[in-house]
Each structure stands twice: as structure tokens, then as C-alpha cells.
């Protein structure tokens, strides 16, 4: 393992929290993610199912957990299934978990090989009234790929059509949204590695550098420090490319006088960082760039104060949009009068700041949680105001990762963001 995994008490506690949410006589089933085929005999790099990792710590393909907390036989209340490695697997793919290792990592005592799955599943289903099945339920996302949990749901419904099937995803979302101390530690580590990468970028960026070379500097620091890599495809966007919100080409030259917007984050032990920074390619902001940058930075500092219990994503977003509107008037992008007579369905600010300014962060970069769910201490969200003035080749986003609390805590507090700080660090190239 490249990372230090939390003690199994963390995973045991996570399962206890889920069990509390299950009605009596329930069975919950969570599968490992598929190994996704690429081409020929290759797979894409394996990434564990976030819910399975959260409940077990297991970071290997073909694991399944069955949780049946009211089963009359105590030994069957929690079972993990895993693949039994044969000699050829070990030679070609390396070590696979032993039963003892599964117990050490997850704290589950009953570990079985996959060939015992069908009979034990039958036993547990027949002792249960409700069967909770997992599925990706992220809003605004759909896929035509029949992934493992989905195929499994279809299969088990055919086998046991009289059972009462229920959605596990909303329960998992409730649990995962509020982070345990072990998780904050993992996320802090992901953010700290991202900080190292940013400082490397400050030292290596200059006119003539290609965007992908900036990306390479990030990747180098990530891997050198035990991250599995990028938590999501990084955006390295110079000049007007910064106004393309999901720019991923990263193939242009960074030019003298342009800004460079980077949205990037390390993944450490399956936990994501999500940071954005904007720097001048040549090491010095122009007066106009500085004015625009400081406008976004002022808003960010005010916005972080809103990450307190009771607030919501939508409420914070609305307040921040008002703050940005005021800054835009200050920057001469439009006037108060324009705002007074604007079409409320298409406000003036929208032309220069067209994305949401926060989302949950955790095992997934766009983590579970609702936009109108009141914040609770221990939730982690990004704070990412932006300003995009395509006509002026200016695209700015500054993004930090904030833990909700009466006093919000900034995981990214050590990542440089002041104009002077950035310019000074770039001077030392």
C-alpha cells in the first residue's frame, strides 16, 4: 500500500453507524468496483468503490460485504468475500488478500472465498425482510455502463422477486457526508501533498513552459509523496483557456503576460483534495490581473466564514454570487444600474461567474450530500469563487477545502494564495 490506512476501529465504527440506520431484519450488500476493460488485455487502473472502502478499508477487486445484523447466527451477521488467489494469479498479478489480512484491515471476522458466496447469500436473504442494494445516485450523472452494483441488483431481484429491496445510497450519503477524524487526517494529507505540488509549480512555471509540463510537475510530486495520482483529471489552463470551465487538453504554451489557472488535487488513500490556484506565467501580476485576483480572494475569505452548521450549499452559493456581483461592479464589468434592470433569469454576474462555488469533498471529489442539506460540523466542502473575463484573457479561480464548524477550518491554509506570496515564491525560480 502506498498509504497508511486508518486502524480497523474506523471501519468497524462506520459499519456500526450504518447498522443503526437499517430497519430490523435487513441485509445490506456492497460490491467492489469492476476492473474496467480498456482494450486488448488491459484494464484501466483499479479504483475501489467508495462505499465499500468506507465500510471495510478493502482496496482490492472482487470483494463483497454482506451485513445482516439481526441474523440468528452471530457468525453470519457480517461476512466479507474475497478472491482466493491461485498460483498463476500470484505470478502474474502479485499478492492478493489472505483471509487474515481481510480481518486485520476491516475488523470483519468471517471471511470467505467467493465460491461460498451463492449459498451464504441465499441463507442471509431468506433470513431478511429488507435487502439494501447499492447504486450510484449522484445527481446530474448517468452512465450506460452496467457497473457491478447495478448488475448485481438486477441479478438478485430475479432470484428473490418476493423480497423487499431498498436503496442503500441515501444512507451511505448521510454517513459519508460527515467526516470522522481519521478521514480529516487522510484529507489533510491529500491537501498537503497538493501543496507540495503547487510549490513545485511556482518554481518551474515560466513563459514557454507547456501546460502539460506543469501537469507533469504536479504528477511527480503526487507520486513522490505517496498519492495514487490525481483525484480527477487536472485543469492546467493558461490565458483564455482558463475560461473553458472543464478544459482538460493541457496542451498549449504558457505565454508571457498570461495567467495560469490550475484546478488539481492529489488522491491519498482514496481521499481527494480539490484545489484551484491562479498565477501569472511570468511571475508578476499586471495591475488589472491583480485587481481581478484580489476581488476573487476577498470573496473567498468572506465565503469561508459561511461554512458553519445550518447553512447549505445553495444558501452559501447565493450569498457568494451577490458578493461577486459587487466586486464585478467595482471592476467596471457592469454597473449597479445594469443590475437593477437585469433579467433575473439571466443575471449580469452569470456572464463572468457561471459555476457553483462549492461542493462536498471526501472519498469522491464531488462527494455525497445534498445541496439543501443543512451543514453539520465535520462536513468538508470546497470554496471556489471564480471570475472569467474572456475578452481580457482573464480566468481566475481560487479554491480551498474547508471543514464545517462553528469556526470553519481550512485544510488548505498552508497553500499560498496572496499575491505577494505567489510573486515572491516565483521570484526564487
How far from chain centre, in Å, is Cα 61? 20
- In three-state secondary structure terms, 121 is helix
Edge-to-edge order in the sheet of strand 275-280: 235-238, 259-264, 275-280
Return the ∠ at Cα 361 (arms to 358 and 363), rounded to 5°: 160
Based on the shown chain and the rule CB under 5 A, indicate whether residue 267 belongs to the binding site for Mn ion: no
Q: For residue 354, what is its C-alpha cell? A: 457561471
Find residue 236's DSSP bridge partners: 262
Nearest CB to Mn ion, comparing residues 32 and 400: 400
Q: Is 206 a catalytic residue?
A: no
We find the least distance from the C-beta atom of residue 366 to Mn ion, in angstroms, to be 8
Residue 323 parent element (H or E): helix 313-330
Identify the CA nearest to 147 among candidates 161, 135, 159, 155.
Answer: 135
**Torsion on CA atoms 8, 72, 113, 170, rounded to nearest 10:** -60
Nearest CB to Mn ion, comparing residues 22 and 357: 357
Based on the shown chain and the rule CB under 5 A, indicate whether residue 274 belongs to the binding site for Mn ion: yes
We find the least distance from the C-beta atom of residue 365 to Mn ion, in angstroms, to be 7
Nearest CB to Mn ion, comparing residues 334 and 409: 409
We find the least distance from the C-beta atom of residue 401 to Mn ion, in angstroms, to be 9
Q: Is 163 a catalytic residue?
A: no
**Residue from 106, 382, 400, 412 in contact with Mn ion (CB under 5 A):** 382
The residue from 15, 71, 77, 397 that is catalytic is 397
Q: Is 263 a catalytic residue?
A: yes
Measured in degrees and rounded to the nearest 5, phi and psi for residue 349 equal -60, -25
We find the least distance from the C-beta atom of residue 313 to Mn ion, in angstroms, to be 12
Cβ contact 357:387 at 8 Å = no
Among the residue ranges 111-119, 249-257, 326-334, 377-385, the one whose residues contact Mn ion (CB under 5 A): 377-385
Cα distances (Å, whole numbers) of residue 248 to 102, 213, 258: 38, 13, 18
Nearest CB to Mn ion, comparing residues 163 and 355: 355
Among the residue ranges 162-170, 197-205, 308-316, 375-383, the one whose residues contact Mn ion (CB under 5 A): 375-383
The residue from 246, 337, 372, 406 that is catalytic is 246
Q: For strands 380-383 and 266-268, give the pairing.
A: unpaired
How many positions of this chain bind Mn ion (CB under 5 A)?
A: 2
Residue 358 to residue 355: CA distance in whole angstroms = 9
Among the residue ranges 9-17, 136-144, 294-302, 380-388, the one whose residues contact Mn ion (CB under 5 A): 380-388
Q: Is 399 a catalytic residue?
A: yes
Based on the shown chain and the rule CB under 5 A, indicate whether residue 61 belongs to the binding site for Mn ion: no
Nearest CB to Mn ion, comparing residues 11 and 264: 264
Buried b / exposed e over 268-298, threshold 16 CB at 10 Å, is bbbbbbbbbbbbbbbbebeeebeebbebbbb
Q: Is 388 a catalytic residue?
A: yes
Q: Is 366 a catalytic residue?
A: yes
Nearest CB to Mn ion, comparing residues 92 and 141: 141
Which residue numbers are catalytic?
41, 246, 263, 274, 355, 359, 366, 384, 388, 397, 399
Contact residues: Mn ion, CB under 5 A: 274, 382
Amino acid at each position: 500500500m502506498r498509504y497508511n490506512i486508518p486502524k480497523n476501529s474506523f471501519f468497524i465504527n462506520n459499519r456500526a453507524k450504518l447498522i443503526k440506520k437499517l430497519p430490523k431484519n435487513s441485509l445490506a450488500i456492497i460490491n467492489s468496483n469492476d476492473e474496467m476493460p480498456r482494450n486488448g488485455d488491459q484494464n484501466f487502473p483499479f479504483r475501489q468503490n467508495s462505499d465499500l472502502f468506507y465500510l471495510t478499508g478493502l482496496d482490492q477487486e472482487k470483494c463483497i460485504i454482506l451485513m445482516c445484523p439481526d441474523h440468528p447466527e452471530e457468525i453470519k451477521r457480517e461476512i466479507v468475500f474475497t478472491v482466493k488467489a491461485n498460483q498463476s494469479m500470484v505470478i502474474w498479478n502479485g499478492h492478493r488478500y489472505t483471509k487474515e489480512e481481510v480481518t486485520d484491515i476491516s475488523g470483519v471476522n468471517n471471511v470467505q472465498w467467493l465460491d461460498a458466496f451463492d449459498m451464504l447469500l441465499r441463507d442471509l436473504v431468506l433470513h431478511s425482510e429488507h435487502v439494501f442494494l447499492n447504486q450510484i445516485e449522484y445527481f446530474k450523472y448517468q452512465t450506460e455502463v452496467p457497473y457491478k452494483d447495478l448488475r448485481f441488483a438486477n441479478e438478485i431481484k430475479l432470484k428473490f422477486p418476493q423480497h423487499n429491496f431498498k436503496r442503500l445510497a441515501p444512507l451511505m450519503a448521510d454517513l459519508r457526508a460527515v467526516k470522522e477524524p481519521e478521514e480529516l487526517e487522510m484529507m489533510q494529507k491529500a491537501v498537503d501533498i497538493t501543496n507540495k505540488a503547487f510549490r513545485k509549480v511556482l518554481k518551474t512555471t515560466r513563459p514557454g513552459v507547456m501546460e502539460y509540463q506543469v501537469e507533469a510537475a504536479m504528477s511527480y510530486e503526487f507520486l513522490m509523496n505517496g498519492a495514487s495520482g490525481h483525484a480527477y483529471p487536472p485543469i492546467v489552463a493558461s490565458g483564455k483557456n482558463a475560461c473553458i470551465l472543464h478544459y482538460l487538453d493541457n496542451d498549449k504554451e504558457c505565454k508571457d503576460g498570461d495567467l495560469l489557472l490550475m484546478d488539481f488535487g492529489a488522491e491519498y488513500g482514496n481521499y481527494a483534495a480539490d484545489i484551484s490556484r491562479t498565477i501569472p506565467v511570468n511571475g508578476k501580476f499586471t495591475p488589472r490581473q491583480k485587481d481581478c485576483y484580489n476581488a476573487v480572494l476577498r470573496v473567498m475569505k468572506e465565503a469561508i466564514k459561511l461554512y458553519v452548521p445550518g447553512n447549505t450549499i445553495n444558501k452559501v452559493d447565493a450569498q457568494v454570487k451577490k458578493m461577486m456581483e459587487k466586486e464585478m461592479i467595482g471592476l467596471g464589468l457592469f454597473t449597479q444600474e445594469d443590475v437593477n434592470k437585469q433579467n433575473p433569469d439571466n443575471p449580469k454576474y452569470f456572464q463572468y461567474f457561471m459555476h457553483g462555488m462549492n461542493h462536498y469533498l471526501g472519498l469522491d471529489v464531488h462527494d455525497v450530500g445534498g445541496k439543501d442539506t443543512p451543514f453539520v460540523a465535520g462536513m468538508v466542502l470546497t470554496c471556489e469563487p471564480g471570475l472569467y473575463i474572456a475578452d481580457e484573457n482573464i480566468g481566475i479561480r481560487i479554491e480551498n477545502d474547508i471543514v464545517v464548524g462553528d469556526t470553519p477550518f481550512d485544510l488548505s491554509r498552508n497553500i499560498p494564495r496572496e499575491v505577494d506570496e505567489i510573486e515572491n515564491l516565483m521570484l526564487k525560480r
